[in-house]
Amino acid sequence: MDVETLGAVEEIKQLKARYFRLLDTKKWDEWADVFTEDVTVWVEDVPDVTFTGRDEFVAAISGTLAGAVTTHHGHMPEIEITGPDAAHGIWAMFDYVQWTEPARTLQGYGHYHEEYRRGADGRWRIISLRLHRLRADLS
């Protein structure tokens, strides 16, 4: 792998780290900036739902997680640079969400499947995200 490719892979890893940190700290304006405006999102379970566009997705998630305590982890990234400004990634994931009203908990285990695009500003963003939980424990 050449230095430019390694640099792009590291930038995408940093992007995903910001995704998790900003999601769990509920910094919604900053979290929105990890996505392209035209992002598409498919969450395959709990419940199966799709979103089109950054504004729709951020509004839905910020509303769903209002008042919840969350912890999201991403592990073992498989990142492939597919073009000068395009990449694909798969991340093993774990998430823990605890709501107080009504009291319930979700623990999920699975994978994020993502596409990335580097914009004119030189920054990588998520253009497509599919979250597939292999297991979801609800209580």
Q: What is the pLDDT of residues 54-64, one digit of tens each?
A: 999 999 999 99
- Residue 101: what pLDDT? 84
Q: What is the pLDDT of residues 76-129, one digit of tens each?
A: 999 999 999 999 999 999 999 999 988 999 999 999 999 999 999 999 999 999
- Residue 44: what pLDDT? 85
**What's 109's domain CATH number?**
3.10.450.50
Average pLDDT over residues 8-32: 98
Give the number of other Cβ atoms within 10 Å of residue 4's Cβ.
Answer: 10
Average pLDDT over residues 2-17: 96
| Owning domain of residue 48 | 3-138
Q: Say yes or no to pLDDT of 1 above 90.
A: no
Collect all residues with Cβ–Cβ distance below 8 Å to 62 and sequence separation of at least 6: 26, 28
- Residue 46: what pLDDT? 63
- Residue 48: what pLDDT? 80
Q: What is the pLDDT of residues 24-36, one digit of tens each?
A: 999 999 999 999 9
CA distance 126 to 49: 18
Question: To the nearest 10°, the Cα dihedral for 97, 15, 126, 120?
Answer: 150
pTM for this predicted structure: 0.94
Q: How many domains does the chain have?
A: 1
Contact of 79 with 9, CB cutoff 8 Å: yes
- Residue 105: what pLDDT? 96
